[in-house]
Chain A
Amino acid sequence: MIETRGLRKSFRSRAGRETKTVDAVRGVNLEVAEGEIFGFLGPNGAGKTTTLRMLATLIEPDGGEATIAGADLRKDPAEVRRRIGYVAQGGSTWDESTAREELVLHARMYGIGKAEAHRRAARALDAFQLTEYADRKCKTYSGGQRRRVEIALGIIHEPKIVFLDEPTTGLDPQSRAHMWDEIRRLRTDGMTVFITTHYLDEADALCDRIAIMDHGEVVAEGTPAGLKREISGDVVLVGLDAATTPQAAQLLDSEPYVNKLETVDEGGLRLYVDEGATAIPQILRRVDHAGFTLTSIELHRPSLDDVFLTKTGRSLRES
């Protein structure tokens, strides 16, 4: 459904007298299959929005190619526009008009006739549980209601693919869960959904496949379960005070069941082991025997954050 090869974009920005170049996206290769929910996971400034805006024909790539729903992004952007829907990160409704007016206008901008546009608007309002507020001005909506209107706008012309840039940012947990249901419903209706997010749980629970992005590059790609399996095994977090950490590290590094060991900045260790349940008793015994004081010990099944950490050396939570 979507295939990109070496998509690139840099921005020149002026700070005082100097011009700086930001390589926002540096060579992204992606393949998204029909009917899947594909997630783009990455910290602020990773280049998610820039990639999406290129795929939605809003900015021209500096290099690379992409085919979207069978249309060539470079050669036929007009055809791409007809086949996709796009919901921006920052919102897209006008305060002074109503949800119904926005939906009708947007449908008509896709060339849909007036009567049909009204029918579709009514159907979309119903599907997104907006009928009650349909004729109130957008400025009176709550954040969640507004987001639902925006997503309804993005799919009013029944595109093959819809790009949703951070669809759940700023929503409370309940609205987020609702939004996830809406997004799954889009897939059931046969749409391919491409979302960006910086929520780990969202990528994990909602997406069929994800690409992890950092500094303009895709650092990992696969199913959430597959990616976690790839970094192999469990993580044991051992809490120690900063003074004894180096010695304990030396001690545990030579243990056969420890695959890899990292020092946590504030003191403590992160141990990568195959099987946490059997490793923990051994760790406890070893540390106790050497006379160090443990402040805590935790078992972590690998999360997408661990995947991110392995690939980039930073935690997504910190960045």
Chain B
Amino acid sequence: MKLARDTWLIFERQLQLLLRNPVWVFVGVFQPVMYLLLFAPLLKPALNAPTQAEAYKIFVPGLLVLLAIFGGLFQGFGLIAELRAGVIERSRVTPVSRLALLLGRSLRDVVSLIAQAIIITLLALLFDLRVFIGDLLLAYLMLALIALMTSAVSYGVALKVKSEDALAPLMNTVAQPVLLLSGILLPLTFAPGWLQGIANWNPFSWAVDGTRALFAGDLADDKVWQGLTITAVLAAAGVFWAARQFARSVR
């Protein structure tokens, strides 16, 4: 009860500050639209897809997972600014729930990601993408779990390293192999065996496969529940770890 109330309190504040900044809102909408309009047309020939709609079915889920990963991983920068301004320390002298300090922030990230995802989906509909609403909602759940995990981890790492200079290379180093090995931009079906072997160890690769299966309408595909389970477990672990960083002493 207190957790829910405190989480809402932090979430409300964070969302309000986000909406107040028109630059962020603009970037948040503009970026994915650019991907869709400028990158997607290359896909049909590249993927050898029979129609543009087929190409979108492969590309859009990948793009959404990509946004979820990157949107989350770079949230830590905002937290470092808050740390420096003394806002975190100010929160920590109050009895407010430590888990809520994290969840309120991560929830804001999840909500803004889902808003982006909806914009992209609607645009893709214009390009003849078709997906069942139930499948789509499950796909959004997957995205929400990914964003929850990556943003929590980013916040936790930010509280540990406490400086942008350390956070930037760290997050880039993590993001790069994750991105390359998840088959986000191009499916790994084209990949040689050894590469697929490594990708099997990348949880995001499972998430991408699951999301693609959902967009393809294959709800019964094992990849769906496998992807959801893996991301849910990792999100829970990420939240648990990051909340402990909020509870521990930070300067």
Interface residues of A (CB under 8 A from B): 56-60, 78, 81-82, 84-86, 88, 90-97, 101, 105-106, 108-111, 153, 157
Contact = CB atoms under 8 A, between A and B. Distances in A.
Nearest to A86: B93
A58 B92 CA distance: 7
Contacts of A153: 90
A92 B21 CA distance: 20
B20 A78 contact: no
Given A57-B92, A93-B86, A109-B95, 4 more contacts: A81-B93, A108-B9, A109-B94, A111-B2
Contacts of B9: 105, 108-109
B93 A58 contact: yes
Contact of A96 (B17, B93, B249): B17
Looking at B85, B87, B89, B94, which has the most chain A CB atoms within 10 Å of its CB?
Answer: B94
Instruction: Bin chain B's interface residue count.
Output: 20 to 34
Nearest to B250: A58
A109 B91 contact: yes
B94 A60 contact: no
Given A96-B17, A108-B9, A109-B6, A91 B93 contact: no
Contact of B249 (A58, A88, A93, A97): A58
Contacts of B6: 109
Chain A interface secondary structure, helix, strand, loop or mixed?
A: loop
A110 B96 CA distance: 6
Contact of B86 (A56, A90, A106): A90
Contact of A58 (B82, B85, B89, B95): B89
Interface in B60-96: 82, 85-87, 89-96
Contact of A106 (B17, B20, B94, B249): B94
Contacts of A90: 86
A93 B84 CA distance: 10
What 9 A-B pairs are tightest by C-beta distance, nearest first? A92-B86, A92-B90, A109-B94, A109-B96, A59-B249, A86-B93, A81-B95, A91-B86, A88-B86
A93 B91 CA distance: 11
B13 interface: yes
Looking at A81, A90, A92, A97, which has the most chain B CB atoms within 10 Å of its CB?
Answer: A92
Given A58-B92, A60-B249, A96 B20 contact: yes
A81 B126 CA distance: 54
A3 B86 CA distance: 27
30 contacts: A57-B92, A58-B249, A59-B249, A81-B93, A81-B94, A82-B95, A84-B93, A85-B93, A86-B93, A88-B86, A88-B90, A91-B86, A92-B85, A92-B86, A92-B90, A93-B86, A94-B85, A94-B87, A96-B21, A101-B13, A105-B9, A105-B13, A106-B90, A109-B9, A109-B94, A109-B95, A110-B94, A110-B96, A153-B90, A157-B94
Nearest to A95: B85
Contacts of A88: 86, 89-90
Contacts of B85: 91-95
Interface in B1-41: 2, 6, 9, 13, 17, 20-21
Contacts of A57: 92-93
Contacts of B2: 111
